[in-house]
A and B are shown apart, each in its own frame.
Chain A
């Protein structure tokens, strides 16, 4: 294995300190852009060359996103980090916040320098208080050392970063809901367009990236975009953190190049627990369609491979289910989640997620009706793509995935009023 890039301080007892971050080349990338007076175009070209795609789930090219910010705009602009990591199965950003907070700060400072932004917010998932505290401390440490605040390392450029804590709303991981939440409102997504680059936080131009995306930036600037890109595969540049949870012997976060075979990743997680047979895998966080184990065993973990197989890489959260898993029960829990977390703004999602949950719930209880599976399919079609944000799609995709690959198990439940496993 190569030395880690994103968690490059992990060999220290206290990987989160500034002192240790500096020992592994920390803040050299920020110095490089400032001392070489790199232009925004040069930095963005480097990020584009890296092939870096957003690590929050959508996989949008980061360099391209940065280029959307209005140029020659003299008013206030904002930079926002989405650390509201609540997509079930996903817990990679938490490790960046806890163990390498300065990589996020440096990545954001470089992004701010590029887009000439003076204020940034890092929105941290409410349930990981320890990570929020760690970030607060790290920002203070960076301020004292001159990496944040006024006149950063003598450059005349100023940027400060503040942490904002969420308090339990999955939908705030959606970028415009997150902006509403920073503004002190209910986290209900905004209609787009206008996009945040034009109308973002407090109505000002805003760029929002995921934690891991920002944390990848220092390496890209320090070592060059091409070097990062070459570690991955075409269209999926670089390394990525994968969270492997569920039925494995050694759940954890693993940093590997994109394109790594799933089989290898499963081995790193110690294989399926108790030597059981692999049944199914959700490859990219709970919203992504589930895939049968035998399909997964032949796949590589990159954007294109997973998409060709009918799912998405998403956040890189791999949820492993062994042969003892009841697929109806698993889907019931997921459907409950989307029902619980729908913000209530769009009718298809607000009403539809309740329908999905109630129907899967009655099948699981042994009260399913023969027509229920068609009804579920019909509901999904009437939710996905018909809502302001992607939570509607996120509720429909798991149902569609489970029915596509495990339909017989649902039919068995309806017919025999009990579980197959």
Chain B
């Protein structure tokens, strides 16, 4: 079941597109599901399909094509580290190693308490702030150092 909040948010997106092009809101709809639940299950995809009047398979295709959708449960705070060229030149592998050591998990994994998840991302389009990660695909933290990472993790841990 899609919550009322998700439906309200989807409706706002639907207003952007022609009335006969409801499918255009599918990317946003999946994003809202993920915002609320942390990940998107097959049942969620079916609900989105029903709401937008499109085939379940067409929703599945979108959910599996775009990298930022979580198709399995991730952490409450999922950090996605960019490791592409500019970030690599500025030490993104050290960032991945440091996060891995501090959280005790590798890329694609979640801490046992479900608090933190770690993912690898492709270019965020913010290369002058390298190295960087995003938190739950929303907040972008750049020019990372170990001290800065410590600070961010401590802040998230309190939430």
A contact set with B: CB distance below 8 Å: 85-91, 93-94, 121, 125-130, 162-170, 181-187, 202, 243-247, 251-253, 282, 286, 317, 319-321, 325, 329-330, 333-334, 337, 340-341, 343
Q: How far is it, in angstroms, between the C-alpha of A334 and the C-alpha of B86 when the chains are bound?
A: 10
B68 touches A129 (CB 8 A): no
CB < 8 Å neighbour of B121 from A168, A329, A334: A168
A168 touches B25 (CB 8 A): no
B122 touches A340 (CB 8 A): yes
CB < 8 Å neighbour of B126 from A94, A184, A333: A94
Q: How far is it, in angstroms, between the C-alpha of A246 and the C-alpha of B91 when the chains are bound?
A: 10
In the bound complex, residues from chain B placing their C-beta under 8 Å from that of A181 are 27
A243 touches B65 (CB 8 A): no
Say yes or no: is B42 at the interface (Cβ < 8 Å to chain A).
no
Give B55 Cβ to nearest chain A Cβ, in Å. Answer: 11
A170 touches B122 (CB 8 A): yes
Q: Which residues of B38-71 have CB atoms within 8 Å of chain A's CB atoms?
A: 52, 54, 58, 61-62, 65-69
Q: How far is it, in angstroms, between the C-alpha of A168 and the C-alpha of B120 when the chains are bound?
A: 12
In the bound complex, residues from chain B placing their C-beta under 8 Å from that of A165 are 27-28, 31
In the bound complex, residues from chain A placing their C-beta under 8 Å from that of B16 are 121, 162-164
Kindly report which residue of chain A lies nearest to residue B65, judged by CB atoms: A186
In the bound complex, residues from chain B placing their C-beta under 8 Å from that of A341 are 122
Known: A168-B68, A325-B89, A337-B122. A88 touches B128 (CB 8 A): no
Interface size on B, residues (CB 8 A): 45
B contact set with A: CB distance below 8 Å: 16-18, 21, 23-28, 30-31, 52, 54, 58, 61-62, 65-69, 82-86, 88-90, 121-130, 134, 137-140
A-B contacts at CB below 8 angstroms, number: 163
B126 touches A127 (CB 8 A): yes
- Listed by A's residue number, 12 A-B pairs whose Cβ atoms lie within 8 Å are A87-B125, A89-B127, A91-B126, A126-B68, A126-B137, A168-B122, A186-B61, A186-B62, A286-B123, A330-B89, A337-B123, A340-B122
In the bound complex, residues from chain A placing their C-beta under 8 Å from that of B124 are 86, 125, 127-128
In the bound complex, residues from chain B placing their C-beta under 8 Å from that of A129 are 134, 137-140
Q: How far is it, in angstroms, between the C-alpha of A127 and the C-alpha of B88 when the chains are bound?
A: 17
In the bound complex, residues from chain B placing their C-beta under 8 Å from that of A320 are 89
In the bound complex, residues from chain A placing their C-beta under 8 Å from that of B128 are 91, 243-245, 251-253
B125 touches A319 (CB 8 A): no
Q: How far is it, in angstroms, between the C-alpha of A167 and the C-alpha of B84 when the chains are bound?
A: 17
Q: How far is it, in angstroms, between the C-alpha of A252 and the C-alpha of B21 when the chains are bound?
A: 40
Q: How far is it, in angstroms, between the C-alpha of A247 and the C-alpha of B131 when the chains are bound?
A: 12
Kindly report which residue of chain A lies nearest to residue B90, judged by CB atoms: A246
Q: How far is it, in angstroms, between the C-alpha of A259 and the C-alpha of B157 when the chains are bound?
A: 49
Q: How far is it, in angstroms, between the C-alpha of A175 and the C-alpha of B24 when the chains are bound?
A: 16
A88 touches B89 (CB 8 A): no
B83 touches A184 (CB 8 A): no
Q: How far is it, in angstroms, between the C-alpha of A149 and the C-alpha of B82 when the chains are bound?
A: 38
CB < 8 Å neighbour of A86 from B30, B88, B125: B125
In the bound complex, residues from chain B placing their C-beta under 8 Å from that of A166 are 27, 66
B69 touches A167 (CB 8 A): yes
Give B38 Cβ to nearest chain A Cβ, in Å. Answer: 15
Kindly report which residue of chain A lies nearest to residue B138, judged by CB atoms: A129
B84 touches A88 (CB 8 A): yes
Q: How far is it, in angstroms, between the C-alpha of A181 and the C-alpha of B86 when the chains are bound?
A: 27
Q: How far is it, in angstroms, between the C-alpha of A182 and the C-alpha of B69 when the chains are bound?
A: 17
Q: How far is it, in angstroms, between the C-alpha of A286 and the C-alpha of B89 when the chains are bound?
A: 13
In the bound complex, residues from chain A placing their C-beta under 8 Å from that of B28 are 164-165
B66 touches A167 (CB 8 A): yes
Kindly report which residue of chain A lies nearest to residue B31, judged by CB atoms: A167
Give B117 Cβ to nearest chain A Cβ, in Å. Answer: 15
In the bound complex, residues from chain A placing their C-beta under 8 Å from that of B68 are 126-127, 167-168
Given A125-B125, A166-B27, A245-B86, 17 additional A-B pairs, CB 8 A: A88-B123, A91-B127, A125-B124, A126-B68, A127-B68, A127-B121, A128-B126, A162-B16, A164-B24, A164-B27, A169-B66, A183-B23, A184-B54, A246-B85, A319-B89, A333-B85, A337-B122
Shortest beta-carbon contacts, A-B, top 6: A168-B67, A184-B23, A168-B68, A127-B124, A245-B86, A162-B16
Known: A89-B85, A129-B140. A184 touches B27 (CB 8 A): yes
Which of B24, B121, B140 gathers most chain A CB within 10 Å?
B24
Q: How far is it, in angstroms, between the C-alpha of A185 and the C-alpha of B66 when the chains are bound?
A: 10
B66 touches A126 (CB 8 A): yes
B125 touches A93 (CB 8 A): yes
In the bound complex, residues from chain A placing their C-beta under 8 Å from that of B129 are 91, 251
